[in-house]
Amino acid sequence: PRIKPASNITIFRKTPDSRAIILSYKIDAVLEEELSSKDFTVVRLQNGEEAVHLASLYSPPCDLPYFNTMIDRVERHLTQRTFFAAGDLNARHRSWDVKSNPHGDAFRNFVDGQDFILWTSPTSTFLRTMNTEAGQITLGQSNIDVAFFSPDIIAESRFDTYLANSDHSQ
């Protein structure tokens, strides 16, 4: 069954199965259709002459060519704008997780070559679980969800649990 969104939010996505950005209806935002795709959703928040672009990104695990294409799109479409991007990049790196993978190495190199601010959760954001007769057990955890943004943005937040039924819970 399709769940109707609450009346005080707006869901931005290019197609019904693409990455989504969910904002309060009080925030004036526009979907950037030409920048968005199934796994790369961008909205523009306009305040007078100034704009901030929010991006929700996804890269499937074990697909480094796809990941590199996504990073190329970030570089081509977002780096000339003020932006805040976050998502499930399936990117692990020792600077924010216990080990590295090819996505994490590529992302770390990308961020280091730019003037971005990298923002990661202090706790694991992905939990691999299994249901057993005795209950649910955690098989592993990692920090594969990251955010990065333009240096002219001042951001502060408290990472908090959300979407309790999601395996990405931070």
- What predicted TM-score, i.e. pTM, was given to this entire model? 0.74
**Helix, strand, coil proportions of the chain in percent (round to 5)?**
15, 35, 50
The token pair that represents 67 in the structure block: 């990941």
| Residue 24 vs residue 63, higher pLDDT | 63
87 has which bridge partners?
A: 57, 146
The token pair that represents 114 in the structure block: 């730019």
pLDDT at 138: 55
Mean pLDDT for the chain?
79
- The tens digit of pLDDT for each residue in 103-152 reads 999 999 999 998 888 887 777 776 665 667 777 665 667 777 888 898 88
State the pairing for strand pair 83-88/50-58: parallel
d(CA 72, CA 57) in angstroms, rounded, equals 13
CA nearest neighbour of 72 among 107, 122, 25, 33: 107
